[in-house]
Structure 1
Amino acid sequence: MILDLSDTSSREIASALIKARRTVGSASGLVLTLLIVTNDFHFDEVLEAAKASATAHPSRVIVVTYVDAEEPRLDAKIEVGEGLPGDLVVLRLHGELQHHGDAICLPLLLPDSPTIVWWPNHAPDNLADDPIGSLADRRITDAAGESDPREALTRRAGNHAPGDTDLTWTRLTRWRALLAAALDQSQATVTGGMVRSAPDNAPATLLAAWLEDRLGVEIRRVDGEQPGVNEVILDTPDGPITINRIHDGTALYQVPGQPQRTVALRRRPLTDLLTEELQRMDADDIFEAATRRVAAEAEGR
C-alpha cells in the first residue's frame, strides 16, 4: 500500500501508518527505527541500501529530505506491505520545518525499540547536538560522502559522542580482522609500521590511528597509486607482516615464518556496510579510541 500525503502533519502521518498496517497486517516484529537524512541526488541509492538492510533487520525506515522554500510545509509518502520487510516513510520538510526535524520525527518512532540515524552524505559536525541526531541511540555517518572525507572525519572526531560511528570504520572490518589474525599468528613485537593508500584517504587515517592506539608504535602514512587502502606493513624482529591489495577483490597476506597466501579483500557495497552497523546497538569503544587519536593528532598539527 502506498499513500501520498501533502501539506500534512506528524499526527496525520502516524494515523495513516496505523490504518495502513491494519489493512496489510501487523507491524509486530519490527526491531528498530532507521532515520535517514539525505538529499534528492543520493535518494535512490540510499533507499535501495535501506530496503536491503531491512531484510536482515526489519525496521521502520524514515527518510528525511529538506526542500528550500519560503513557506513551511510537510509532505509525506508511506509504503507498507508491497514486499517491504517493514514500513517506509519519506518526509519532505519545506522551509522553516528543516529546523524542527526532531519534533516531526519523534511521534513516528517505534516505541520501546532503538532509533538509529544515518547521514549517508553530508552530516553535521556534532551529531549528538543535531535535532534529529538527538533522537538516536546510535548515529552513523559516512565521511566518504563528503567533499573532503579526511577533513570531515577529523571534524567529527573532535565532537565524538558515545553512539557515533562512521562507515569509514566499517570499510576497515576485513583489514582489521586480517591484521589481528596476523598478530595472533606471529606473536612478535611490532616495532613500527606503514599504511599505504590513496592520498587523503579517510579509512587509511583511521586505520593508522587504530594501529597506533592498539600497538603503541608509530605508523607512517604513505601515498599510493591505487584507490582506497593499498597496503599495510607491520615491522617485527622476525620480518614484516604484510597485507598488500593487488586487485579489487584479493590481497597478498604474509606472516613471518609462513608461506605467502592470497586472501579475499573485496570492496564492500553500501548495503553490506549498513547491515553490519545495524547489528550493534552499543557504543563502539575501539572506534572511539581511534577517533580520539585522530582528533589529538589534528590538534597537534
Structure 2
Amino acid sequence: MAQVITVGTWRQRDTTMGPVLAALDRLRQCDRRGAVRTSFVTLLAVGGQSVEVDEVFDTVHRLGPLQPTRVIVVRVLAGDEHRLDARVGVHLQSRGNQCLGIDDIALEVAGPVTSHLDSLVEPLTLPDLPVVVWCRERLPPARSRLIDVADHLVVDTVAAGGRSRLPAVARLHQRTPVIDFAWLRLLPLRRRLATALTRTEHRALVDEPADVVVAGPEVERALLAGWLQVRLPGWSVGEADGDRAELSVSVGGSTQQLQVETGASAATESLLARALLHLRPDPVFADALRAAADSTGAGTAR
C-alpha cells in the first residue's frame, strides 16, 4: 500500500455542518498537490455505535487505485439528545508520478439529526460523482431518505440480520442498486462450478436434469440456490440443513456425482474493492436475490 501522508486534521464537538465544510475547504487549500482525485466515487459508510471509524478509514486507504476520493463515515449513536461531533482529515497518497488527494470525514450523531441524515451528508458529496452508501450493520429503513442520496448501496445481509433480511434487501434493490457482500463471497464457487460443468467428464450432468444440493452459511446458501434455480430450469435445487462454514454444491445425475467447494471467505477489504469494481446493473444477482427472497418469504410463511 502506498504511504498516506496527512496534510492536516480538524475536529470539533457539538458543531454544525458549516464549520465542517469550512474546515474541509481550508485543509484542502493547504497543499495543492492533492488536487488530483483518486477515483470517481464518494463512499459514505453508515453504522451504529460498534463501528470503528479508524478501522473503516484504514480499510478504504488500502484499496489502492480503487480508493474513493472522499470517505464519509457516519456513526449513529443512541439517545434523544442532539449531538453532532465531527472530524476531518485531508491526506495525500503517492501513486506513480501523481500525488492523489483523499478526504476523510467522520460524523458522530444522535438525537433528532438522525432522522434526516440525507440533509446532513449531501453537502459533503462531490458534484457529478456517484455516491456509494456502505451500510456497515443494519439495512436502512425502506423509507429512509438516505437512500435518495445513494446511487448504489453496499450491504452485507449476514451482518444485517441473516437470511430473514433477504426480502428487505430485495425491496431495497427495487429502489436503488444493491451490492451484497454475501453475493460477492459466492464468486469463487460460481467460477469453480462453471469450470467443472464444462469438463468433458461431466457432460452427462449438463445434458440431463439433475438434483442439486447447496450447503453452507444460510445467506450465501440461499443466494446460490436462487442463482441455480434461475440458471438451471427444470433441475431440482435443494438446500442442506445446518450452517456449515464452507459453501459446497453437490450435483447428482443418473451416472455420476460432482461436488464443488470453496474455502475461507474473503476479507472485508477485498469484498469492498470488488463492490467498487461492479458499480453497474447485475441482472444475474437481481434474479438470484429475487428467488432467494421468495424462498425465504415462503419459508417464513410456513
TM-score in terms of structure 1 length: 0.83
What value does the CA root-mean-square deviation take over the aligned residues?
2.2
> Greater CA deviation, 214-223 or 39-48?
39-48
Q: Secondary structure at the match of 1:143?
A: coil
Distance 1:158 1:67, change over 3 A: closer
Q: Residue 18 of structure 1 corresponds to which residue in structure 2?
A: 25
Residue 134 of structure 1 and its aligned partner are, at CA, apart by 1.5
Distance 1:62 1:182 in 2: 42
Of 134, 148, 154, 2:167 maps to: 154
Of 222, 228, 246, 1:205 maps to: 222
> Greater CA deviation, 284-293 or 53-62?
53-62
Opposite residue 291 of structure 2, the aligned amino acid is R
Q: Residue 60 of structure 1 corresponds to which residue in structure 2?
A: 70
Distance 1:12 1:228 in 2: 49
Residue ranges of structure 2 left out of the alignment (5+ in a row): 1-7, 94-99
Q: Residue 37 of structure 2 corresponds to which residue in structure 1?
A: 29
Q: Secondary structure at the match of 1:291?
A: helix
Q: How many residues align?
A: 276
Contact persistence 2:63–2:273 (CA under 8 A): yes
Of 182, 186, 191, 2:196 maps to: 182
Distance 2:252 2:139 in 1: 37
Q: Secondary structure at the match of 2:158?
A: helix
Residue 287 of structure 1 and its aligned partner are, at CA, apart by 0.8
Opposite residue 24 of structure 1, the aligned amino acid is D
Q: Secondary structure at the match of 1:233?
A: strand
Contact persistence 1:117–1:136 (CA under 8 A): yes
Could you list the per-position Cα deviations for residues 21-51 of structure 1 after superposition, in whole angstroms to 9, with x for gaps in the alignment? 1113334324210000012323154343223
Of 191, 211, 234, 1:192 maps to: 211
Contact persistence 1:118–1:140 (CA under 8 A): yes
Residue 89 of structure 1 and its aligned partner are, at CA, apart by 0.2
> Greater CA deviation, 102-111 or 184-193?
184-193
Q: Secondary structure at the match of 1:145?
A: coil
Opposite residue 37 of structure 2, the aligned amino acid is G
Contact persistence 1:193–1:232 (CA under 8 A): yes
Corresponding position: 1:108 with 2:128: no
Corresponding position: 1:93 with 2:109: yes
Corresponding position: 1:268 with 2:266: yes
Residue 269 of structure 1 and its aligned partner are, at CA, apart by 0.6
Residue 158 of structure 1 and its aligned partner are, at CA, apart by 4.2
Alignment of 1:276-287 (within 5 A): 276-287=274-285
TM-score in terms of structure 2 length: 0.83
Contact persistence 1:195–1:208 (CA under 8 A): yes
> Greater CA deviation, 129-138 or 39-48?
39-48
Residue ranges of structure 1 left out of the alignment (5+ in a row): 246-264
Opposite residue 119 of structure 2, the aligned amino acid is A
Residue 156 of structure 1 and its aligned partner are, at CA, apart by 1.9
Q: Identity across aligned pairs (percent)? A: 27
Opposite residue 39 of structure 1, the aligned amino acid is G
